[in-house]
Amino acid sequence: MTYKLPTSEEIKSIDLSWKRYLIPKIHKEGVKILVWMAVFFLVLGLLWDGVWYIGLPLLCFSYYFFRNPERHSPQGDGLILAPADGIVSNIKEMVPPKALGLGSDKLIRISIFMSVFSVHVNRAPVTGRVTHLEYVPGKFVSVADKDSEDNEHQLIGMTAANGQKIGFVQIAGLVARRIYCPLKIGDQLKAGDVFGMIRFGSRLDVFLPKGVVPKILLGQVAVAGETVLAEMKEGKK
């Protein structure tokens, strides 16, 4: 894979100020929730003066939780990027769910666990087209160290630009109560594009194409849209 040096305009466009760290952008789903929370506490404040001792910290944490920080994705058709922030909690071989359209052979699955302090915005791991979607309602139990097939989850299958197929799964956790994924079959995504989010503590699994070897280690911290999980061989289908 070749590397192109950034232009002076691209360098200037990168925000290095304190605002990037202390006042990050937030996901549109978070905006709606923050507005409802603010209205609720304003109304409640008319009845109880001390409500802001509780309301203000909750609003600040919610703003922090729904943050959607600026990310710059590495370029390369064969790169598979982390779709979520968090710790790589498991790397194992297993047969992928049928709904992903990846066949019946065992594939390497990389699991990324998101705590309530992680960024919960999810980003596309590859450039390509959405080919499979299936939402499965279920329970809400811990997803840190188990397969959690019974949990609420959203399955997403994609065909990458080089023709290889990849699948990933949003899994709701112990505190999570909603998976947000507005994707439709046929949608085109670029690697690093925001495609959804999971609220409050959850996990995201990635099934690598057959023969692709992980470039990430168990226990490593992944950054959505920036950390390289693996690299596909060019032209391999």
Instruction: Round to whole Å and give the CA distance between 149 and 171.
Output: 9
Nearest alpha-carbon partner for 87 in 68, 112, 65, 69: 112
Catalytic residues: 202
Angle at 230 between CA 224 and CA 232, to 5 degrees: 125
Instruction: Round to whole Å and give the CA distance between 172 and 174.
Output: 7
CB 110 within 8 A of CB 208: yes
Look-up of token digits 């990037």 = 20
Counts for the chain of helices (H) and strands (E), in that order: 4, 13
Nearest alpha-carbon partner for 162 in 77, 100, 74, 73: 77
The sign one gets for the Cα dihedral 84, 90, 93, 95 is negative
Judged by phi (left if over 0) then psi (alpha if -120 to 50, else beta), residue 154 lies in: beta
Residue 188, token pair as written in the block: 């085109």
Residue 162, token pair as written in the block: 């080089």
Q: What are phi and psi of 122, to 5 degrees?
A: -105, 145
